[in-house]
Amino acid sequence: MIVSVVRQTVLAALVAVLTLSCGGTQITKSSIDRNRVGKPVSDILVIVVADKPENRATFERKFVEHLQAAGVEAVSSTEAFPMPPDLKLEKDVILKAVAKYETDAVIITFLAGIEEKDTNVNTGRVYQGYYDYYGFAYGYVNDTGFYRGVTTVKLRTNLYDVKTEKLIWSGESKSTDVGSVGQLTNEVIPLVVAELQKNNLIAPKKQS
């Protein structure tokens, strides 16, 4: 009986680990607003902060595809509004897109660390408002570069409620032996979407 219980416990632990990894990518850190569990969002504006328009577009397109496959309505910032030459969005532009597409959440992803420089996000400050967090991510990415052919990449993804601007979920992923931005998106995004589904933070939009 004891052996059986131990085996079941080990199996459950292995399953939990597998759901947090994909190829050379793992979700290494995550936090969640427990008050939002069971109160999912269903319409999301996706913003990827990158130093190159093509990286941003690739990542956002894949994110939208995976969210839509989960039944969630999603729109990328690439589609929602033109990007200025310096790739920095003003808050009023984001708010107009939120109103136009009637999104109830904003998801923001950016580079949080690279292996060579052992660069990590300073987590001393809590970025509650999504635009406050976006401004931080923009400055950080343009200081470090989004992708430089490194072997280890860390990405931080935050999901915010539009009305309250409160942080719903935050996760950090670590990808090793990354060969391209395409590979990175194919490994990271399914894990993030699976985590949001598992915690009942996203759900198909109800038709009126």
Q: Summarize pLDDT for 46-69 with one digit per residue, the tens.
A: 999 987 888 889 999 999 999 999
- For the four alpha carbons of 120, 139, 136 and 21, in that order, the dihedral sign comes to negative
* pLDDT above 70 for 125: no
Could you give the CA distance from residue 89 to residue 29 in angstroms, rounded to a whole number? Answer: 27
Supply the pLDDT for residue 126. Answer: 57
The pLDDT, as a whole number, for residue 11 is 31
Owner of token pair 């894990």: 191
> Domain 22-198: which CATH class?
alpha beta
Read off the pLDDT band of 96 (50, 70, 90). Answer: very high
Question: Is the pLDDT at 173 greater than 70, yes or no?
Answer: yes
Residue 72 token pair: 């969630």
**C-alpha distance from residue 135 to each of 71, 84, 206 (Å):** 29, 15, 32
